Amino acid sequence: MTTMTETSARFREFKMPDVGEGLTEAEILKWFVQPGDTVTDGQVVCEVETAKAAVELPIPFDGVVHELRFPEGTTVGVGQVIIAIDVAPGSGDAPASAAAPAQEPVEAAGPGEGDGDAPKGRTPVLVGYGVAESSTKRRPRKGASAAPEAAAVAAAVQAELNGHAAPAAAPSVPAQAGAPDGGRPLAKPPVRKLAKDLGIDLATVVPTGKDGIITREDVHAAAAPAATTPVAAPAPSQAAPEAPAAAVVSDSARETRIPVKGVRKAIAQAMVGSAFTAPHVTEFVTVDVTRTMKLVAELKEDKDMAGVRVNPLLIIAKALLVAIKRNPEVNAAWDEANQEIVRKHYVNLGIAAATPRGLIVPNIKDAHDQTLPQLAASLGELVTTARDGKTSPAAMAGGTVTITNVGVFGVDTGTPILNPGESAILAVGAIKLQPWVHKGKVKPRQVTTLALSFDHRLVDGELGSKVLADVAAILEQPKRLITWA
């Protein structure tokens, strides 16, 4: 199966693919092409964000972009057509089915919503190569029998999808909240998603769109306080492309509601699941890392480390790997279904990275086998990819232990929450010059505080203490990287 459909021998449609992670929707972050642009097989046409990562989608054929079905910022279900391509430009007029869909885009029906036969199941596949086809016919509305009305609704929806307002028409009867004839309220999927995010019941929204369709503005009006006056936005210094409608801001507004979706939604769900599933224990140690800082300075001048980034995190990561080698029982996972402890004989070292889309934790596969230069290169690549928003779902799967460096924000330490499915997470605080007793005298030394959180089902206090003490001992005397390895 592919994610494209043929509307004719000339026009082909490309559907939102399943990225192979069992996800059901993705948000279109950015279009890299516009109608009229020429595209080639394998060319990236857009970037989408799933609940796990941002992913670039390539088009699987050559042609000219005929139509973009959804604007940036729209959340689209897997299997919905997002772009139409003219694969034989100049061969004639576009058929009506390619230029404008004959029916409204529909959202995936939830349990108990669909009528008729059950849709075919989706098959997870690689990005850009589609999913199993399924029926997307909309259920007939009660009392809706006239074809002209259906055509008008489709035209209004298509106009809004293309970013143009549908022609206004005075309603013959006063608009009322709720669904026509007691049926389901009329709204396209992005508007339904917006209402869900804002906690608005569409049955209570007064529609102003043509033929009773609920628009984004209707939802925002329902969400806004009744007695507020919108503040006029200052005129932009230059023309900018239209963006999806934002929340209404008013003089008396004291709150801003931000829809939680994509990576941030997944983070929230994962952290709640971790915090209330794994019994967390956190231990702390403050350590003199002056010798480690001297080693970092020396390695920066070492020709064997040329071309890679050397920083304290590199030595801390290596210290944790050595501590795990000395205490292998800490590298494990809890199998709830089978009531088993799964001991890992490899270390996929996670590094928590703050990105514009939220916190993600990609990991270095088989970090325990890497030399110091290799580990430095892996850390550099991991951080760069994360900051660019290009981390793949595979890069975030399969982690065993994690490091989170809160010190970069000037924080002394914290009590980190375990990455789901992992046994431990090490928080590294800010490295500061502090008074410290060294060789019987108080001297200024480079000091930091480490915090190790672990799953108490897997790691008891003695084992957790040994791991944390080993990391601290290595950072205090980095020559132990040689003697203990």
What is the enclosing helix (H) or strand (E) of 280? Answer: strand 280-288
Instruction: Tell me how far the alpha carbon of residue 422 is from its chain's centroid.
Output: 20
Specify whether 456 is catalytic.
Answer: yes
DSSP structure class, residue 447:
E
Nearest to 73 by CA among 15, 18, 26, 3: 26
CB 70 within 8 A of CB 34: no
**Within 10 Å of residue 178's Cβ, how many Cβ atoms?**
16
Enumerate residues 6+ apart whose C-beta is below 8 A from 392.
Answer: 53, 55
Per-residue burial over 442-477, b if 16 or more Cβ lie within 10 Å, else e, is eeebbbbbbbbbbbeebbeeebbbbbbbbbbbbbee
Torsion sign across C-alpha atoms 466, 472, 475, 476 = negative
Closest CA to 55 of 392, 326, 450, 437: 392
Task: Name the active-site residue from 66, 220, 345, 456.
Answer: 456
- Beta-strand ranges (E) seen in 43-193 are 44-49, 54-58, 63-68, 75-77, 81-86
Helix H or strand E encompassing 358: strand 358-360
> Is the distance from CB of 70 to CB of 161 less than 8 angstroms?
yes
By the 8 A CB rule, do 475 and 446 touch?
A: no
Could you tell me the CA-to-CA distances from 339 to 84, 192, 274, 463 in Å, in that order? 50, 41, 17, 21
Q: Please name the residue that has the structure tokens 């480390």.
A: 305
Active site residues: 456
